[in-house]
Amino acid sequence: MAATTLTAALATAGGLLTATPASAVTCASPSWTAQYYANTSFKGTPKLTACDSAISENYGYGDPAGVTLPKDNFSVRWSVTRDFGSGGPFRLAAATQDGMRVYVDGVRRIDLWRNVSSTARKTVDLTLPAGRHTLRVDYVAWTGYASAAFTYTPRTDARTDTVKPLAPTGLTAVYDRGTAKATLRWTRNKEMDLAGYRVYRRPSGASWAKVSGTAPLTSPSFVDAPPVTGQTLFYELRAVDKAGHESTGSADVSATTVDRTAPAPPTNLTATDGQRGVVLTWQPVPDAAKYTVYRRQQTEPGSPEAPMTQVATVSSTSWTDTTAAERTGYTYYVSAVDAAGNTSTTRATVSTTRDDYAPAPATAVTAVFEPRNGIVVRWARSASDDVARHDLYRNGYLLRADVWGTTYTDVTVDHGSTYTYTVVAVDKGGNRSPASAPASATTDGDLVAPAPVTGLTATPREDGVLLEWTPNTESDLKRYEVFKAEKYDDGDGGHVWIGHRVEYLDPDTTSFLHTSAADGEDVMYAVIAVDDWENQLSPTDETIHWTEVTELGTPNED
């Protein structure tokens, strides 16, 4: 019994070393509790109870050191109860001289119980379920040389070990706003084949991303430096074993970071001359709490640049400069500022000259769908007397610039769609009015072809072929189209049908005489319905009914 692996519970009485009772010694798992007996039957009170970190003993021809036992016929019992985590495949290996028996949860797994003159060995592979298990090793030295060794080790090759580790527990996260770092700590897993841990992070609604590096972490803590965006981030911990299996994730923990990230600058900054001043507008920045507006007066070429001054701080996405002087050019700059006080590193920029007021917008805008034409947009002229033209917008995009009148027909519309129109008045100085109130119109119609014509019959006559059919009852029927197919040799002893349109007919027509020579040919006819939106089935559609008929032959001459 090596002194470095033995913690004996001994008491001094009258100058002699005597073993304390076994119940007085508690060995912390995974240390073995070792009990030494002066017999081979493990009877009576142990002579010594000690804690061993491993079973690897070479007693030689004498008794164990540190305890008085006979040179022969003594025994040692080692036992340990520990948590094996997720369990998995293990290898038990015994080497003994003399006898050894190994038990797992009371079941004997190794039996080398005999007096031998050389070392006896045995290896057993088994799979342990997850959780706590008790191992017991009974050893007897009968006569002669004495040694005992036993190990239990996980089998970690991926072909043998198919059990992934248990999910880690006890994960906590503490965020330091001063250092902008999150410290994560957790409880160590119990698996003996554990390779380490991986830390994953994600913002709300996003996918997990590994942040702990390539190699698994071997200590139960990790310091992360997440982006300083003010977001709430979630962390998850996963265990990895030596076979490469990764556990499911631990319970999530969160950390809200300090916000040191500047927002993006505003975009689409525009400057419009209005009756009250220069109206600035821009697109909102998602995380902006306010906007700072700066102004610089334009100077003549070669003159010193005028200073930039802050003229407003607003929470909205527009601002009117009521102090801008007439006939004066200005350059405006707008920065975004978030709730943490971070300011965008660049600014949106726009220049304008206030040389006139913007005209009043057009009024009384209407949009009416006319089936045969399109959508007709009409409006009343701006009340301003210097309007030079109007720009027409559809669904927010410029449809037509330089409309000189007050009406426009949009012929580029689709059936069954809704369109919204606005009008912008432009004066002779190029000043643009605000957009008018919108007007919308929805086109009628659909994209569905009428049903196939039914009841088609073809009667051959001397003056042609009479076609008759059942009328199509759809409300948007516009016309019928008549198709004829003729048979031609295909050059390989067979024939093909080649068709073409022969007539357009009104929607109230239910018969048609197709005049043709009475030459006895085999022909086919089809009638296809067309609606107001020019929807119709293709002549090759499998639902079209083609009627085959043989024309009358040419009469014999006397």
- Token digits for 220? 């139960």
3-state class (DSSP) for residue 272 = strand
Q: What is the pLDDT along the chain (558 residues), one digit of tens a residue?
A: 443 334 343 332 232 333 444 456 899 999 999 999 999 999 999 999 999 999 999 999 988 888 889 999 999 999 999 999 999 999 999 999 999 999 999 999 999 999 999 999 999 999 999 999 999 999 999 999 999 999 999 999 999 999 999 999 999 999 999 999 999 999 999 999 999 999 999 999 999 999 999 999 999 999 999 999 999 999 999 999 999 999 999 999 999 999 998 999 999 999 987 777 899 999 999 989 999 999 999 988 888 989 999 999 999 999 999 888 867 889 999 999 998 899 998 888 988 877 666 788 999 999 998 876 789 999 998 887 778 889 999 999 999 988 888 999 998 888 778 999 999 998 877 778 899 999 999 887 777 889 999 999 999 999 999 999 999 999 889 999 999 998 887 777 777 788 899 999 999 999 999 998 888 889 999 999 998 878 899 999 999 999 999 999 865 544
Nearest alpha-carbon partner for 285 in 344, 227, 351, 232: 344
What is the DSSP secondary structure assignment for residue 46, as one 8-state letter? -
DSSP 217: B
Contacts of 13 (CB under 8 A, 6+ apart): none
Residue 356's pLDDT is 61
C-alpha distances in angstroms, 336 versus 4, 237, 289, 290? 68, 37, 8, 6
Residue 66 half-sphere exposure toward CB, CA atoms < 13 A: 20
282 near 334, Cβ under 8 Å?
A: yes
The whole-number pLDDT of residue 355 equals 64
Structure tokens at 199: 């830390």
Q: Are 544 and 537 in contact (CB under 8 A)?
A: yes
The H or E element that residue 87 is part of is none
pLDDT of residue 14: 30
Instruction: Say whether the peptide bond before residue 30 is cis (omega within 30 degrees of 0).
Output: yes
Q: Quote the Cα angle for 420-423-426, to 5°.
A: 160
d(CA 531, CA 445): 9
| Dihedral sign from CA coordinates of 499, 500, 505, 507 | positive
At 80, list the tokens: 């340990």
CB 250 within 8 A of CB 238: yes
CA distance 110 to 136: 11
**418-427 and 328-338 strand pairing:** unpaired
Report all structural domains of the chain as residue ranges with CATH numbers, in order of start: 3-154 (2.60.120.260), 169-256 (2.60.40.10), 270-354 (2.60.40.10), 363-442 (2.60.40.10), 457-550 (2.60.40.10)
Residue with tokens 């059990």: 163
Burial class (CB in 10 A: 0-12, 13-18, 19+), 465: buried
DSSP code per residue over 241-305: ETTS-BPPP---EEEEPPB-PPPPPP-S-EEEE-SSSEEEE-PPPTTEEEEEEEEEE---TTSPP
b/e burial code for range 437-455 (CB count within 10 A of at least 16 → b): eebebebebeeebbebbee
